[in-house]
Amino acid sequence: MVAAGIFLSRILGLVRQRALAHFLGNSSVADAFTAAFRIPNLLQNLFGEGALSASFIPVYAGLVADKDREEANRVAGAVGALLAVVVSGIVVLGILAAPLLVTVIAPGFAGEKRELTIRLVRIFFPGAGLLVVSAWCLGILNSHRKFFLSYAAPVAWNLAIIGTLLVLGPRRSMADLAVAAAWASVAGSLLQVLVQWPTVRRLAPGLRLRLTTTTAHVRTVLSNFVPAFVGRGVVQVSAFIDSLLATLLPTGAVAAIGYAQTIYLLPVSLFGMAISAAELPAMSSARGTTEEVSAYLQTRLNAGLRRVAFLVVPSAMAFLALGHVIVSALYQTGEFGRQDSLYVWGILAGSAVGLLASTMGRLYASAFYALRDTRTPLRFAVVRVVLTGALGWFAALRLPGLLVIGPEWGAAGLTASAGLAGWIEFYLLRRGLQVRVGATGLPVGLLPRLWAAAAAGAGIGWVALRYLPAWHPVPLAVVVLGGYGVTYLLAARFFGVQEARDLLVRR
């Protein structure tokens, strides 16, 4: 259900990005829009699903599992009230400090591009605050095992932006259209909260927003929230370093990274986030002796890792080998041309380096959160950020010169270096959890079989590209990627992968 909800919202996200690509292309306005959205989005990333899920869901889900509804409502109401107060203050500060934020995050922007970015940041901030409230609703719904609605809610946000682009796009300048789309984002954020609120009230009829930190459970949430918040902040520092470095690259790099990131986040969300989000309430509800809890976590974690690998390995191979087919089908329209597709493919291929590590790492982090430990993932996140900053600086600003390629390809270096840092963080997470619960991980030999099956699919895809006529990018992608997917599934079945066998038998 998580994957279904995320799939709907991400597909609409791709439609939204296609509409932006059609009307804004890789222009300076597209750069401004992408950079401006990332700055206030810090609120959602810091207070939203990451930190809030890590601290709130384990406590709240435990109370729901123990059928202590009164205390569960008290905790949810206190957390909601505290979030509302803190986030409201940050929204006001963000609006006032927008020029300073743009100077720090986008030092390469100047003139009209900088002024437009500042204006967009001020519009985006209130919407980001509303998305934090939406994440609080998600925590309540997930703890009650209501997964679809919370992850499908962003459909409303995407529809608001898409509708605005389609209605106003042909009649507005690029800059005016970007401003209108930003206001649509705020309206969509409100809609995202409203579609969840009735179900939240039904599941928690006694819920009241009340500022209090007197109960032990509320203090536990706050205690766990601080390191989770700092951990998310550390990750955001990494993202902002990437954004800062991208603004120093030629025009179009910021927008191109944004387009690639939308595609990259699809498997991360559908497979990594979906499985991790579904497992967190279940793992948080584990009861029994230390040995029983450890065995339960091992079982769920190992099964989740197999599912993640089975689905993410072919995604990474597709990004590497057939990324131009994917990008062309999604974005090649209007102001977005063939060369733009090839450029975004290079960035997407760099993202594929750390795709498997990022998705499996989310599952390990969820296991730590289920154990009420938010500090260990924080330490490993710090290591990742330091590596991302150092490797990203070298790969984006120095490596292209050494390789005698255009400076714009530093954007691909940014995503690849982040992937390398992600693998190191994953290794640390796995080693740290094994100390707590025992051996975990994928069976020996599974990954080689999955990569071999994916390579077979990529080979079929390239054969199709060689002999098919010059079709429109969309039908071409349907045929090529369809053949790739079928070949991967059959090859994985031939190599004895249980997940492929189960899927084929089920069909």
What is the enclosing helix (H) or strand (E) of 76? Answer: helix 69-96
pLDDT reported for residue 45: 67
Query: Distance (Å, rounded) from C-alpha 461 to C-alpha 486?
Result: 11
Give the least confident one: 85-94, 112-121, 208-217.
208-217
| Residues 6 or more apart in contact with residue 38 via CB below 8 angstroms | 105, 239, 240, 243
More confident residue, 96 or 227: 96
pLDDT reported for residue 252: 81
Note the pLDDT tens digit of each residue in 137-165.
Answer: 888 887 888 878 877 888 899 999 999 99
More confident residue, 214 or 264: 264
Residue 52 has pLDDT above 80, yes or no: no
CB 499 within 8 A of CB 507: no
Quick one: 484 exposed, middle or buried, by C-beta within 10 A (0-12, 13-18, 19+)?
buried
Q: Which CA distances in Å does 126 have to 74, 122, 184, 250?
A: 27, 8, 12, 30
Residue 79 has pLDDT above 90, yes or no: no
Q: pLDDT confidence of 235, banded at 50, 70, 90?
A: low
Q: Which CA distances in Å does 366 have to 137, 280, 352, 370, 425?
A: 19, 6, 22, 6, 14
CA 464 to chain centre: 31
pLDDT reported for residue 154: 86
Token pair of 468 as six digits:
């098919």
pLDDT reported for residue 429: 92
Query: Distance (Å, rounded) from C-alpha 311 to C-alpha 270?
Result: 9
Residue 449 has pLDDT above 80, yes or no: yes
pLDDT reported for residue 368: 85
* DSSP-assigned letters across all residues of 235-285: HHHHHHHHHHHHHTSSTTHHHHHHHHHHHHHHHIIIIIIHHHHHHHHHHHT
Note the pLDDT tens digit of each residue in 271-322.
Answer: 777 777 777 777 777 677 878 888 888 888 888 899 899 999 999 999 999 9
Q: What is the mean pLDDT of residues 319-339?
A: 89
Residue 238 has pLDDT above 70, yes or no: no
Between helices 253-267 and 410-437, what is the axis angle to 10°? 30
**AA identity, residue 460:** I
Give the least confident one: 4-13, 39-48, 217-226.
39-48
pLDDT over 70, % of the chain: 94
- Nearest in space to 441 (alpha carbons), one of 340, 305, 260: 305
Backbone angles phi, psi at 139, to 5 degrees: -60, -40
Q: pLDDT confidence of 49, banded at 50, 70, 90?
A: low
Give the least confident one: 6-20, 36-50, 432-446.
36-50
pLDDT reported for residue 236: 62
Q: What is the mean pLDDT of residues 131-138?
A: 86
Query: Distance (Å, rounded) from C-alpha 473 to C-alpha 19?
Result: 16
Residue 506 has pLDDT above 60, yes or no: no
CB 248 within 8 A of CB 108: yes
Note the pLDDT tens digit of each residue in 81-107.
Answer: 888 888 899 899 989 999 998 888 788
Query: Distance (Å, rounded) from C-alpha 213 to C-alpha 209?
Result: 12
Residue 17 has pLDDT above 90, yes or no: no
pLDDT reported for residue 303: 87
Residue 478 has pLDDT above 70, yes or no: yes
Q: What is the mean pLDDT of residues 111-138?
A: 90
CB 149 within 8 A of CB 201: no
Backbone angles phi, psi at 126, to 5 degrees: -60, -35
Note the pLDDT tens digit of each residue in 149-206.
Answer: 877 888 899 999 999 999 998 888 899 999 999 999 999 999 999 999 999 888 888 8
- Global confidence as pTM: 0.70
pLDDT reported for residue 483: 94
CA 106 to chain centre: 22
Query: Distance (Å, rounded) from C-alpha 253 to C-alpha 259?
Result: 10
Q: pLDDT confidence of 128, banded at 50, 70, 90?
A: confident
Query: Distance (Å, rounded) from C-alpha 77 to C-alpha 140?
Result: 10
pLDDT reported for residue 255: 82
CB 188 within 8 A of CB 127: yes
Q: pLDDT confidence of 230, banded at 50, 70, 90?
A: low
pLDDT reported for residue 141: 87
Q: pLDDT confidence of 488, banded at 50, 70, 90?
A: very high
Q: Which residue in this structure is represented by tokens 């384990």? A: 58
The alpha carbons of the chain give a radius of gyration, in whole angstroms, of 22
- Nearest in space to 33 (alpha carbons), one of 128, 118, 104, 127: 118
